[in-house]
Amino acid sequence: MSNRDLILLLEDMLESALKIKRYTTNLDYDSFLNDDKTIDAVVRNFEIIGEAANRIDPDFRAMYSEIKWNRIRGFRNRIVHDYFGIDYEIVWTIIENDLENLIGQIESVISNS
């Protein structure tokens, strides 16, 4: 994988994470649940993050093991294949607890690549 391709995938991940952050800023969980457009947009951007993570070379992922690549990829698979429906409480928990950290990690990887 070329460095250019890698950077593009990381930028896709970052752009989607920032969109999720923007879409959910000033929302609480109940507001999120009652906004179908935001749910659809957030889920779609999580799909993009997971798909991009899946395409990143495994050796590169190993160099940045602080990023939870397998969890990101697994979450994407759950969303795409809709195993027993999407649990929006999990989606919201990821937004609240993990998204900001992921944004910082991706920004750091991009600046070091």
> Of the residues 44, 61, 78, 81, which is catalytic?
81
Complete DSSP assignment for 64-78: TTTS-HHHHHHHHHH
Residue type, 93: T
Active site residue 76: yes
**Catalytic residue among 22, 71, 73, 76, which?**
76
Known catalytic residue at 81: yes
Residues 6+ apart with CB under 8 A from 27: 35, 38
Residues annotated as catalytic are 76, 81
